Amino acid sequence: MDTKKLDKKWWKKEVGYQIYPRSFYDSNNDGIGDLNGITEKLDYLKELGITLIWICPIFKSPMDDNGYDISDYYDVNPEFGTKEDLEKLITEAEKRGIKIILDLVINHTSDEHEWFLDALKNPESKYRDYYIFKRGENGLPPTNWRSHFGGSAWEKVEGEADENGNEMYYLHLFSKKQPDLNWENPEVREELYKMVNYWLEKGIAGFRVDAINSIKKDKDYLDLPVDGADGLADNIKYTLNQPGIEEFLEELAKETFKKYNCMTVAETPKLEYERYNDFIGEDGFFTMIFDFSYADLNMAKDGFYYSLRDIPTVELRDKIFKSQLTQQKYGWGAPFLENHDSPRSLNKFFGKKANILNAKLLANLFFFLRGTPFIYQGQEIGMDNFVRNDISEFDDIASKDQYQRALGEGFSSEEALHFVNKRSRDNSRTPMQWDNSKNAGFSKDKDSKSWIKLTGSQAATNVADQINDKNSIFSHYKKMIDLRQNGKYSDCLTFGDFISVPLENEKIIAYVRKYGNQKVLCINNFSELKQEVKLSEIARSINEVEIKLGDVLINNYENVENDGKVLVLEGYQSLLVQI
């Protein structure tokens, strides 16, 4: 798609849909989702109403981290198809008014990339400086940093010990098969920029940019205080959002993104809010970012599955409010409920109380926030978490590490498995449930075995049952999208200001979108019990003398109980209403 012909900020009007290609639809019965499978389901996505697809990595890869370990940036992984299949998908999507963005993974490559293979083979190779190689001391790695997937962030290079026995290591913040690139080397940056521009010339609309705030490391490479039974330390103090990263990102944007009218949505966990202007301001590095400040509230100790807890509604509310107001101050955001790195939202927020009502509540709460909303595959039908009976049933490397980490902290195998079941990334990576058949309609051949075990809930939750049911979760999402894109209050729900409504009742999350003379209230009862709200309290919080409820745009119940002074919300009731 030629985005150069579009309005400069076309991306504000989009509705994104994230596809994990391995698990979306298998068109050739090999048990693995593929590009042609996405093409075959474009009419479904058009029916839903989305306008933009973010596809997780489809480049050539050994699949150690399901594609986030790229061995060739210029080729498509054969299990997904060919470059011609990708070009066909882009063309067919454009015919339906759907744009495509790809996943850009440039913090690291695969250890099977030709650059790294040459760097390992020859210490004098120029490619040795494409990565971060350092010598350890006293029989230890250069630092005590833990990789995000467990174990040391340093991998020993065999046969390169010096005369004192000190070994050579390379840095990998993620898997040992994902060596970090050395962004301090201008040759590395030039190679990456060339690749980015190559794909933008192919007609994609932009990128989701993976782990981009990890590209700058503190050059002193110091140890950190040990924080786990493994004797290692979380590395982010010296590897995330480091001073000076702005120089790299400004150059990246100048040499690539800003040459095209493209969209970029950056993964920037723990980015300090005071730095948002550089990232998403008027001349920012990216058009929008994902804010993860409320993504992992179910872990008391960040990054440790064994610290799971229930999410206090008031804490979720306050995080959303702060995130929205900050993004509004500086630029644009990308609200999301789920992605490929998180469990299903229904289970995360409501556990065993998850049902169709609170699925619609979560949808309303997040979809109408200010920003370009992203829906993750299966979210629109209320797909849920699985229960695995043994750690051997998991595919995700992070889940296997978290299981071992919990054991190391003294938890039993049963407890460790419980934590991983609840938080595993595999929960969102199970095959899309198209129908209630044995393999959920994931492959054309109903007897094909999928690459990963199904969730097993396809009898109760599938597209075929929901697509023509006007009361289904799918129909709710379809209605939400249509309201935002085409309804009377479309501009208000897209471009309108976000106004927080901090009510005394901490079971309720409410906010207002305002655009010109239009005002729309989104109010959500997170309790299973009835809750009352005085309209005068809502009015005061938005500096109005009084408010009256007008057009009810969305309601997950049949009726609204309102006497003009008090709004009574049923358990898990969620309203979008003009005021």
Residues taking part in catalysis: 210, 267
25-55: burial string, b at 16+ Cβ within 10 Å, e else: bbbeeebbbbbbbbbbbbeebeebbbbbbbb
Between strands 561-562 and 288-290, the pairing is unpaired
Count of Cβ atoms closer than 10 Å to residue 386 Cβ = 21
Strand ranges across the sheet with 154-157: 133-135, 168-171, 154-157
Residue with tokens 């051949």: 445
Residue 508 parent element (H or E): strand 508-515
Residue 209, classed as helix, strand or coil, is strand
Cβ pair 291, 267 in contact under 8 A: no
Compute the C-alpha angle 171/177/181, nearest 5°. Answer: 45
Integer Cα distance of 76 and 90 in angstroms: 14
Count of Cβ atoms closer than 10 Å to residue 486 Cβ = 9
Alpha-carbon separation of residue 172 from 6, 107, 467, 534 (angstroms): 39, 10, 44, 54
Cβ pair 80, 21 in contact under 8 A: yes
DSSP secondary structure code for residue 89 in this structure: H
Between strands 518-525 and 508-515, the pairing is antiparallel
Q: Which two structure tokens, joined as six digits, stand for 161?
A: 């010990």
Q: Where are the beta strands (DSSP E) in 246-397?
A: 263-267, 288-290, 374-376
Short-list 335, 306, 334, 492, CA closest to 415? 306
Q: Which two structure tokens, joined as six digits, stand for 303?
A: 């990054």
Residue 461, classed as helix, strand or coil, is coil
551: CB partners within 8 A, 6+ apart:
488, 577, 578
Cβ pair 516, 489 in contact under 8 A: no
Compute the C-alpha angle 366/21/400, nearest 5°. Answer: 85
Integer Cα distance of 144 and 152 in angstroms: 7
Q: Which two structure tokens, joined as six digits, stand for 18?
A: 């994230």
